[in-house]
Structure 1
Amino acid sequence: MLNGNILTPDGWYHGTLHFAERVARIEGQPQSPDSNGDDYLLPGFIDLHVHGGGGRDVMQGQGAIEVITRQHARHGTTSLLATTMTAPREHIEAALRDLGASMQQRSPHAARVLGVHLEGPFINSGKLGAQPNFARTALWDELQAYHELAPIRVLTVAPEISGHLELIQKVVAQGIRVQLGHTLGSYEDGVAALQHGATGFTHLYNAMSPLHHREPGIVGAALAHAEFSELIPDLLHVHPGAIRAAMRAIPKLFCVTDSTAAAGMPDGDYQLGSHTVTKCLGGVRLPDGTLAGSTLTMDVALRNLVLIGLSLSDASNRLSRNPADFLGLSDRGRLAPGSWADILVVDRHLRLRAVYVEGERIDLADA
């Protein structure tokens, strides 16, 4: 059991949280944490966009995912989506084959892999960002082959490419969430994709057609119509003012790290798919200066959101409950009886004191 200020779906309670692998019960009374100096008990972070960490990249396959999930667990991420890079089909299949095998059982002291975020290859070659140039038009048979190797939970597509609207409908019918990203699409393309079943946007503002008052672009479609979208809150990818604008417009906007192998590592060169990227001055870039993912961890994301003016409960929801809701998970991202015991103990300076993944306490020694 743990004592402190517990963030529940019904607000703050001061009391005791009882748990094993799942939360058993919560004892206490509704009370603002401002009335005492005890620690905060928050739901574990859920990161739906993770390329790497600890020097390893998801596309490296065998052995990499264990390093990545342990690295992020030490920073409060209790579950995540392993995110691929655009690559030749055989490279994606090799990575997914290894991921499918590794997902059969969670590694000790590691985050749970909930599935795969397939970021590409079905994107626009004119808006690659840091994706390698292996973009191509979606093929249903190719996607099905990927899904059989490892469960695809989120798919990023460019909606303006011929045939992709029809693909979105078929993908959504299988229970896969579709996000729009790496796209030169118009506002109209974005609205059409939402009408065909897309429900999210990949790293909002980045690698998509921007908002202009006469050409609203994909960003305009998101701000005008979306319920969900992901966003990278490292304060490098998106200005704090743009973050706050998106949060006012998109009710369940959630935050991701888009982390790379450089997360948790010193400055230097690392792999991002087939690219070599450089970590320097807190960012990760291609040789031409293009941002190439991030070094962000979710505990830093929490502090950044509070820094720009969000309440702790709002910041927590955007790192836990909202991404769980996006995936349709009712037993993660919240502290309530029956939910998985994914628990963070956070001090009054918003530093992690303890992390529990499905009831297992994680060693934070290297965090």
Structure 2
Amino acid sequence: MAHTITIEYTTKKKQQPHVNQLGFGKYFTDHMFIMDYDTEKGWYDPRIVPYQPILMDPASKVFHYGQTVFEGLKAYKTADERILLFRPDKNMKRLNKSNDRLSIPAIDEELALEALKQLILTDQDWIPEAVGTSLYVRPFVIATESCLGVAPSRQYKFMIILSPVGSYYAEGINPVSIHVESEYVRAVAGGVGNAKTAGNYAAGLKAQEGATDLGYAQVLWLDGVHRKYIEEVGSMNVFFRINDTVVTPMINGSILEGITRATVIELLQHWNIPVEERRISIEELVEAQHNGSLKEAFGTGTAAVISPIGSLHYQDEKLVLGDGITGELSKKIYDAVTGIQNGVLPDTYGWTIEI
């Protein structure tokens, strides 16, 4: 069924922060998108409204049973004032994969993408233009039925909010130190590790706190069954260059199918650089570092694009990678992806959408 997206413009625009104050996810634009769901009506009433609090019943199921999913992507302003999105169709497909796993009704992906575009156009003056900045886009779904029975909700809200964000790196692309987590696990195959749902992130906070206390920027997760196979770095997928081959953990049901991950794999294949998706153990990685074949490592995700890894802390050993500096391949990938995203480089892959 066709839907018309209505727009209610704000009568009181916010003061926009200075670009140096942006940080990540601290400020929000003047408008938001909302669409409701009811089992009797399906998804209905798509609308853009002034950014505002939402009124929720204390018994809403999202508060009690965690039925919620989200996505994250960015809009970029090019030097010639065009607005670009990077592979947004992939985000909408992944949102519906997460919906399915959490027993949330599927969203019309075309409608969601159109809503996203209209919302960005409505608040396009919020897109920062300084190097390294962008407009972060957060679509999400929450269960809103007021009932404490343990069953899928009968009502939902799908919303999109926008946040101008600064450069992820204050001083360029710098390597981070990683703590290999050996006590806690994030997810197992058959669970919800491959869905972008709030509980996955809550499950990682304790380990991240511990890593931060030890002076490390991120956590490297091992699998929840054998406690030896590498899965993800924090909220990012992870890659290792061993000799001349790039290795990344295969999709196994417990890690997120990252869109930046897929982009990097396609780039490497286009560049004729060998890339393998397979199981890789922490022991293999330690041995590769000891014998000098581990050349570099990096995480991939929407926020930072590429996050080089300078060192790994495993048990009582600190493993320094590539002299602790950003690797040549990491920098090449970062420059290529961000160049396409910002319209500086030609998009020969058809990844960007102009709105």
Asked which structure has the greater CA Rg, the reply is 2
Where relative contact order (Cα < 8 A, 6+ residues apart) is larger, the structure is: 1
Fold shared by both chains (TM-score > 0.5): no
Q: Shorter-chain TM-score category?
A: under 0.3
TM-score (normalizing by structure 2): 0.25
Normalised to the residue count of structure 1, the TM-score between the two structures is 0.25
